[in-house]
Each structure stands twice: as structure tokens, then as C-alpha cells.
Amino acid sequence: MHPSRWGNPAEAAALPESTRGLVELALGVRETPAVEQVSLPPVGLADDVLSELRELLGDDFVLTDDEHRRVRTRGKSTPDLLKARAGDLTDAPDAVVRPATHGDVVALIELAVRHHIALVPFGGGTSVTGGLVARREGYAGVLSVDLIRMKGIREVDKVSMTVVLEPGLRGPEAEALLAEQGLMLGHFPQSFEFATIGGFAATRSSGQSSAGYGRFDTMVVALTMATPQGTLEVGSSPANAAGPDLRQLALGSEGAFGIITAVRVRVKALPAEKVYEAWQFPSFDAGADAMRHLSQNGLMPTVLRLSDENETALNLASQSEVGGDSAGGCLMIVGHEGVSVAARQALVGAALGELGGTRLGEERGAAWAEGRFHAPYLRDSLLDVGVLVETLETATFWSNRDRLYKAVTAALTEALGEKTLVLCHISHVYETGCSLYFTVAAPQADDALEQWLAAKARASQAMIDADATITHHHAVGTDHKPWFAQEIGEVGVRILRAVKADLDPTGVLNPGVMIP
């Protein structure tokens, strides 16, 4: 990806004139171009260490040039991008290393322990919570462990409907290889085009089809993880009662406990039909109640997403538009995938109609499906014209939804000022509750980084004070650690620290990330 922007550089574009006019009216426009040709700090690793790395992996797979180091610096949160745009790439790794096998990873960890070098597992670089910014102080250097060479399918079991995937496979690559077998994973987060299987597992990712296919951590039935104490292999059956589920110790561990080198995941047959349609509800409350009804009555579609009034009107995150005689209210996207979707579509449609929804048709639903991966590019275009844009997400029980929604909206508005635009959608739904995904836009202050960090702190504390989680699917990274500690409490923190101390006593695995 681009070192200081989201995604494919060829997809980057200036803000459309029509959108620019609206932005200027609502927030003001102030050109804030990114610094070009940023210099990187020199490589800090000793020559003998670099020689040992090259002997282990091969000369072509130990990279110390600025180009490779630059694009492995940090992730893609707004703070990450603001630092890069300002010319700050001080977190650049000393080298990018590319193991090809589980054995390579084991040997690389052993080398890092001996030389006290920090290891940062790197998949697609899409982290938005500081998960790729290891603590450098006290270490002989930092290596970005790029898993790009580990991108195969090791096993296909069509009887059990599971496959074993390597961690370096990007989302589209995995789905393409599975499609050759008539299979699919069905995991489509907004980062899908760039994020990897290993990243999905290490962050407990949730995709936009979670209503039908589930979260990634529910798809994983077994995994292999390399640690400084040896290899962890767990998952010998679809379910068991053999103590705590150690898969969940690795899933979401963000490279702090080990490096995941393979996952066995459940898969599905490729759907014969896909239908996406749009619905309109008179209010966010009415739409959320309809979602709750579907989830609690066995009527879940494959995709279920609801934008609040602001997001529906401004079209910043949903990439769909409600216009003409159907303007106003809240937009819901409902998607059905399978062998024969008509019956399910009719049942869900009847329920939504009875609950106050108005069907807007398949055209708007198809438009959302086509454009759902392009929204992050808009953030860069807005940053270029002096508009601070970021997202944050949480989850809670249905009975607490409105309280949480109002608390986070108020916290962001109070922190960023009266011109702040706060948008929200629900895109992950359960019988007991849902996620809330906020997008916020405000005029940039002179110090945009400090401006956002203050707003993020206010919103994060509002989540905890409202008895919600600090993150539903973005993971902890470094950004969420203070509130993660509040969420899990003193005993929870002690458990995580004890696991870290036992598995990684010298602390070389992604130091500073996730563990409070």
C-alpha cells in the first residue's frame, strides 16, 4: 500500500468538486498536502546480525532499503497517517524479513531472542489501532516479519468443509484459491483487499457478511503458532471440553504471544445467488429494533447494515444514497446469499415491512455492494483539504444501545467542536446486541494529531463508562490499551501479563502492543 495513504496508489483521487463544495460549506477547506520524499532513520542492526538473518532466510528476503522499510512503517490509523504525512517515519523497522515456512519463523524467533530484537508480524498493514508500532527502547533493533511468502492452501477437506490456510494470503487471494475448489470463506471486512488471513486471526476480525457467515474467530477451528517456547498447535476436533479454549488465546493476540503460521477454518460452498437490497426506516431506533427482531427470531440475512440519519444523509461511510421521494430516515442494506435466496428474502422482507420498513429496491443495495471497499480512500482526500476524519467502533447489548450511541456522539462532539459531524452505523448483529461503528469529521486544528488523540480519549472513556467494549473488531494495538485494562480489570490484566511472561520472557514479540 501507499506509505502515507490508504490502499492502492492508483486508486487515490482528489476530492470530487461536488463533494468539495459540500465539505467547504459544512467544515471549511484548508489545503494540507502531505510531505513528500521522507527520509528514514538509518538501519540500526549490527552487520553480524544482518549476516545471520541473510544466512537463515536468503539475501533476497532480508530487505534494508528505504522503499521496503517505508511501506512497513506503522499501519493506517489516522494518527499513523498524520505522522507519515508530516514526514515522521521514525518508527520504520530496521529491516523487513520474509520467512517462507513455519520452521523459518521458529528460527527467526530464536535469533531475535538471542540478539534481543523486536519482531512485528506484518500482514497487509491495515491496522487502525497502532498494532504495528512496537516499542523500540531497550532493543537491538526492530524487524518487520513480512509473511508474504507464506500464502498457500495446505489442505482442503471437503468432507468436513475445512481448509488450512497460511497467514500471508490476502483476502482476495484466499477467496480466489478457494473458488477454484467451489468454496468460499465469506470474510469481507472493509480492509479485505489488503488484509491477510494471519491478520484476520491475530485481530479477531469481523467482516461485512458477519450476519450470515460469522466473525473470523468463529471460523477458526484449529491453528498453529510459533512462540519463543516452541510451537502451539490447538484444535483437533470441531468442539471439545478439554479445558479452556487455547485457540482463543492466540486469536486476538496481535503477535504478542506468538506468530500464527496456519489456521484451519470452516468454509462454505460458493453461493449460487447474491441479492442485495436497500430498505428505509423512519429512525435509527426503528431500524435497530427491526435488526433485533430479525436476530432474535432466526431471520438473519447474510448482510445486515443500518446507517443512522447523519450517515444516510451525508453518504460518507455507507456508500449508498437515499434520494428523491425516499429521502430522509435511515438506510438499511440487506443481503442474501445462497443456493435459493427467494424464500429467505420473502420472509425477511415481510418482517421488515411489518416493522415499519420501506423497500427501496435492489439497485441501491447493489451500489453499496459494489462500492463498499472504496470508503477509506475518501479519508485521504479529506485530509488533503484540512478535514480530520477517523473511525472508531464498539459493541454493547441491545438494552444499552441508545445510551452508548448518545454517549459516544456527545463525547466526540464536545471534544471536537460544534462543526463536528458524527455518523454511525450498525453492521454486526447478534441475538443479544450489536456493534456501533462511528465515523467522525471535523475541521483540522493546527496540531491535528493531538486534536484527534484528545477526542479519541474522550470517546474511549465514554464507551467504558457506558459499560461497552473498547473495540468490537479493530483490536487493541497500542491505542486502546488504557481502556482495555479498564474493560478486563486487574485480574484480566494479570492473566495476560502472566501468559506473556511465560511465552515471551524476553519480550521480543511486538513489544508494547496489546498487553496493558
**375-474 adopts what CATH topology?**
GMP Synthetase; Chain A, domain 3 (3.30.300)
Give the 3-state secondary structure percentages of the chain, helix then strand then coil, rounded to 5: 40, 20, 40
Burial of 129 (0-12, 13-18, 19+ CB in 10 A): buried
What are the φ and ψ backbone dihedral angles of 371, each rounded to 5 degrees? Answer: -105, 10
- DSSP 3-state of 224: strand
Is the pLDDT at 323 greater than 50? The verdict is no
pLDDT digits (tens, 9 = 90+) for 159-180: 999 999 999 999 999 999 999 9
Distance in angstroms (rounded) separating the CA atoms of residues 408 and 428: 18
- Mean pLDDT computed over 310-335: 67
Domain 273-371, second-level architecture? 2-Layer Sandwich (3.30)
Q: Which CATH class is domain 34-146?
A: alpha beta
State how far the alpha carbon of 480 is from the alpha carbons of 72, 249, 459, in Å: 21, 18, 11
Q: How confident is the model at residue 327, as a pLDDT?
A: 58
Q: Which three cell numbers stand for residue 465?
A: 463508562
More confident residue, 339 or 203: 203
For residue 325, pLDDT over 60 is answered with no
Provide the pLDDT confidence category of residue 315 given band limits of 50, 70 and 90.
low
Q: What is the mean pLDDT of residues 476-504?
A: 97
Q: Could you give the 3-state DSSP secondary structure of residue 190? A: coil
CA 188 distance to own-chain centroid: 10
Mean pLDDT of 403-417: 97
What is the distance between the alpha carbons of residues 334 and 277, in angstroms, rounded to a whole number? 5
Is 70 exceeded by the pLDDT of residue 320?
A: no
Domains in the chain: boundaries: 34-146, 153-269, 273-371, 375-474
Give the CATH number of domain 153-269; options: 3.10.20.30, 1.10.3720.10, 3.30.465.10, 3.30.450.20.
3.30.465.10
Q: How confident is the model at residue 328 (pLDDT cuts 50, 70, 90)?
A: confident
* Per-residue pLDDT reduced to its tens digit, 187-198: 999 999 999 999
Q: How confident is the model at residue 28 (pLDDT cuts 50, 70, 90)?
A: confident
Tell me the mean pLDDT in the region 401-426: 96
For range 282-300, the mean pLDDT: 97
Question: Model confidence over 244-272: pLDDT tens digits?
Answer: 999 999 999 999 999 999 999 999 999 99
Residue 144 CA to residue 325 CA, distance in Å, equals 53
Place of cell 441475538: 431
The gap from C-alpha 429 to its chain's centroid, in whole angstroms, comes to 17
Instruction: Please determine, for residue 322, whether its predicted confidence score (pLDDT) is greater than 60.
Output: no
Tens-digit pLDDT profile for residues 53-93: 999 999 999 999 999 999 999 999 999 999 999 999 999 99
- φ and ψ of 284, to 5 deg: -65, -40
Instruction: State whether residue 110 is helix, strand or coil.
Output: helix
Compute the average pLDDT of residues 210-228. 97
CA end-to-end span of the chain: 30
* Separation of CA 249 from chain center: 19
Q: By three-state DSSP, how is residue 468 classified?
A: coil
**Mean pLDDT of all residues in the chain?**
94
365 CB-near residues (< 8 Å, 6+ apart): 275, 276, 277, 278, 320, 333, 334, 335
* Residue 409 near residue 422, CB atoms below 8 Å: yes
pLDDT at 317 over 70: no
pLDDT tens digit sequence for 42-56? 999 999 999 999 999
Among the listed residues 299, 421, 307, 424, the one whose alpha carbon sits nearest the alpha carbon of residue 364: 307
Of 211-225, 363-377, 401-415, 488-502, the range with the lowest mean pLDDT is 363-377
- The answer to whether residue 399 scores a pLDDT higher than 60 is yes
Report the percent of the chain where pLDDT is more than 70: 97
**pLDDT band for position 365 (cuts 50, 70, 90):** confident
> Has residue 411 got a pLDDT over 60?
yes
Q: Which of 400, 392, 412 is nearest to 466 (CA)?
A: 400
